[in-house]
Structure 1
Amino acid sequence: MIEHRDKAWFEREYSPSSCIEDINVYIQQYCDQSQAVTQQAIANNTVIRAIQYGASEDEVLDLYLPDAIANNNNSQSGTQAGKKLQVYIHGGYWQELSKDESSFAAPAFQQAGHYFAVINYSLAPKASLTEIVQQNRRALVWLATNAEKLGFDADEIYLSGSSAGAHLCLMMLQTNWQEYLSQLDGAGINEKPRCQPESQPNSQLKSPDIRGVCAVSGIYDIEPLLHTTINNPLQLTAQEVEANSPLNHATPQQCPVIIAYGDNETNEFKRQSLMMKTQLEQEGFELTLGEISQRNHFDVILDLGQVNSWLFKQVQRQMNTE
């Protein structure tokens, strides 16, 4: 715990909106850009929407198809186009937003020849943080299990996320997938999704091979949230804080990791990113760090959809490294 700080300090440092005038400006950007992307993808028949990966009505994802595949009648034609999947996990302090505001980066990846998935999950207080982590695990298992039918490789999965989504990316990277799959009781992965392809029986479930992570403006030690009103809907327990703080645990899966944040963010968000970077480097990870100028906690992630931005170029380099 951070000592000698009062409640007002915690509220300010863990409220990203304290650095900007109006958060709604950026939320509207997410909405407008994502709506336009989805409408265009529907028109082009390059998106499969509301694929249900779990039993809850919230456990759905949208999958955007690579332009190269869509333009070739979804045929691989012996090329490597469409063999890689970028999965985006949205932020919102695990209590706001959804997949519907989170597809703004899809076209950049589609044009580069990749699949792009956006995960939806239940929000607090409807779900605990532990349940949210489990839902994202189910989504990745569903994607890996159905990878061959969908056209990408189960061992070519990359993750990106913003804020709470960055936290969830690190939680996915710290998952022992063999142990996780062995503990599924038959109800973990939905067996009757609303969309093809159908999920496999649990005996055939595959673990995702995460090849790279881009974590933007994340929070990796959630203990400080106990001292803020952010915890009101989360109702975090001490056990959850320990289990769901990536900084408290080693990361067993080795892959390149990008840690990024905007220059206009609170000192605590910057400190947490630097601590996560240092920990991963000590564990032998290939790390790329970026403090992106003229960006805040909310608009920095929009760079993921800009092909000329530093952030997108780093993710592309990560995905194109064999």
Structure 2
Amino acid sequence: MTSRKPDLLFADLTERARQYNARASVPDFDACVREYAELATVARRQCAAVCDLYYGMGAAERLDIFLPAAERQPAPVFIFIHGGYWRSQAKEDAPIMAPVFNAAGVAVVPVEYTLLPEGTLAEAVREVRSAVAWVYHHADRYGLDRDRIYVGGSSAGGHLTGMAAATGWQDQYRVPQNVVKGAVALSGLFDVRPLCDINVNEWLRLYPDQAERLSPLFALPPRGLPMVVSVGGLETDGFKNQTAAYEAACREAGVQVQRVEAAHCNHFNLLCELAKAESPLTRATLEMIANGAPR
């Protein structure tokens, strides 16, 4: 007897649009954004950082590097990709985990990318992969360990994390096939096809066949890659089912998936768990990175 696949389409387009409306799933979206900003302010005040390094020629192709103490360098790298449905938010509000991660000896690298609809989803994927490659090729200059690069992201950033963890792109960027040593995918959109028929496509501007090529569900990580996944217990079934579908596909492909439960979290404050040293999500992420240390 086969288990039922998670429903990503829902009964009709009205219900589908509701299921994928992250903002409407919380009582106060502005409060969630303020929490990001406040935590990011703390990070910038407490942590040493090199900001606005260009990894590409586009104005948005920039990243920041939040470094642990010099005696802990070269440091493993946690590249973080912000969410915002690919059309909003910025890297400046993303380094909320830097104080905790830097204290654990891990560098944090928030990445900016060209937002839609100025850019395209394909360009965002290319840019994030370019950022990973830039970190690999410039690691020595900034006290980073090129052999311990991890990628994470939330919501749209979870999608881009999946595309960075996928196989098949590395040769084009002159990096090893295993350049990404692990991934943290939070509340991601891993099958973009259901979004082509609802309001999200106003800025995605994709046909279903294009969406399939840009979906992590159809571009899985290599066998054996460690991955942490989580989705908030207060999120809609749309986001829960997206994570369930991706998790199942990854497990079937031999990816070493660890699911972290977060029953008390919504779509937005799930990310804030990474700012807490003792949260299960932080512990799982830092343990994954520590387990990848050379023996």
TM-score of the aligned structures, taking structure 1 as reference length: 0.84
- Aligned length in residues: 285
- With over 3 angstroms needed to count, the CA separation of the structure-2 counterparts of 1:155 and 1:3, relative to structure 1, is closer
Q: Give the equivalent residue in structure 1 for 2:3.
A: none
Q: Give the equivalent residue in structure 1 for 2:56.
A: 54
Cα distance between partner residues in 1 of 2:87 and 2:251: 31
Q: Give the equivalent residue in structure 1 for 2:85.
A: 93
- With over 3 angstroms needed to count, the CA separation of the structure-2 counterparts of 1:171 and 1:4, relative to structure 1, is closer
Cα distance between partner residues in 2 of 1:3 and 1:140: 32
Q: Give the equivalent residue in structure 1 for 2:140.
A: 148
- With over 3 angstroms needed to count, the CA separation of the structure-2 counterparts of 1:140 and 1:63, relative to structure 1, is same
Report the alpha carbon displacement of residue 265 of structure 1 after superposing the two structures with TM: 0.6
Q: Give the equivalent residue in structure 1 for 2:97.
A: 105
Q: Is the 8 A contact 2:81 2:158 kept in 1?
A: yes
What SS does the corresponding residue of 2:272 show, helix, strand or coil? Answer: helix
Note if 1:8 corresponds to 2:14: yes
Q: Is the 8 A contact 2:9 2:194 kept in 1?
A: no
Cα distance between partner residues in 1 of 2:22 and 2:13: 16
How many percent of aligned residue pairs carry the same amino acid? 29
What SS does the corresponding residue of 2:185 show, helix, strand or coil? Answer: strand
Cα distance between partner residues in 2 of 1:18 and 1:261: 16
Q: Give the equivalent residue in structure 2 for 1:27.
A: 33
Note if 1:180 corresponds to 2:186: no
Larger radius of gyration: 1
Q: Is the 8 A contact 2:185 2:228 kept in 1?
A: yes
Equivalent positions of 1:181-260 (< 5 A) are 181=173, 205-207=174-176, 209-252=179-222, 254-260=224-230
Q: Is the 8 A contact 1:82 1:115 kept in 2?
A: no
Report the alpha carbon displacement of residue 3 of structure 1 after superposing the two structures with TM: 5.8
Cα distance between partner residues in 2 of 1:2 and 1:159: 25
Note if 1:139 corresponds to 2:131: yes
- With over 3 angstroms needed to count, the CA separation of the structure-2 counterparts of 1:40 and 1:2, relative to structure 1, is closer
Q: Is the 8 A contact 1:94 1:164 kept in 2?
A: yes
Q: Give the equivalent residue in structure 1 for 2:67.
A: 65
Report the alpha carbon displacement of residue 4 of structure 1 after superposing the two structures with TM: 6.7
- With over 3 angstroms needed to count, the CA separation of the structure-2 counterparts of 1:315 and 1:287, relative to structure 1, is same
Cα distance between partner residues in 2 of 1:28 and 1:4: 32
1:117 to 96, 109, 121: 109
What SS does the corresponding residue of 1:307 show, helix, strand or coil? Answer: coil
What SS does the corresponding residue of 2:277 show, helix, strand or coil? Answer: coil
Amino acid at match of 2:93: E
Q: Tell me, which stretches of 5 or more residues in structure 2 are unaligned?
A: 1-6
Q: Is the 8 A contact 2:165 2:182 kept in 1?
A: no
1:36 to 29, 38, 42: 42
Cα distance between partner residues in 2 of 1:111 and 1:92: 28
Q: Give the equivalent residue in structure 1 for 2:233.
A: 263
Q: Is the 8 A contact 2:154 2:271 kept in 1?
A: yes
Note if 1:306 corresponds to 2:280: no
Cα distance between partner residues in 1 of 2:274 and 2:204: 28
Amino acid at match of 1:24: D
Q: Give the equivalent residue in structure 2 for 1:283.
A: 253
RMSD of Structure 2 on Structure 1 (CA) = 1.7
Q: What per-residue deviation string (whole Å, max 9, x for no partner) do you get for residues 45-93 of structure 1? A: x100000110001000010010x21xxxxxx4xxx64420111110011
Q: Is the 8 A contact 1:129 1:240 kept in 2?
A: no
Regions of 4+ moved over 6 Å = none
TM-score of the aligned structures, taking structure 2 as reference length: 0.91
Q: Is the 8 A contact 1:82 1:113 kept in 2?
A: no
Q: Is the 8 A contact 1:174 1:253 kept in 2?
A: no
Amino acid at match of 1:209: V
Q: Is the 8 A contact 2:10 2:16 kept in 1?
A: no
Report the alpha carbon displacement of residue 36 of structure 1 after superposing the two structures with TM: 2.9
What SS does the corresponding residue of 1:15 show, helix, strand or coil? Answer: coil
Amino acid at match of 1:142: W
Cα distance between partner residues in 2 of 1:206 and 1:320: 22
What SS does the corresponding residue of 1:156 show, helix, strand or coil? Answer: strand
Q: What per-residue deviation string (whole Å, max 9, x for no partner) do you get for residues 159-197 of structure 1? A: 11100101111101114244323xxxxxxxxxxxxxxxx
- With over 3 angstroms needed to count, the CA separation of the structure-2 counterparts of 1:236 and 1:294, relative to structure 1, is same
Cα distance between partner residues in 1 of 2:118 and 2:238: 27
Q: Is the 8 A contact 1:176 1:252 kept in 2?
A: no
- With over 3 angstroms needed to count, the CA separation of the structure-2 counterparts of 1:170 and 1:63, relative to structure 1, is same
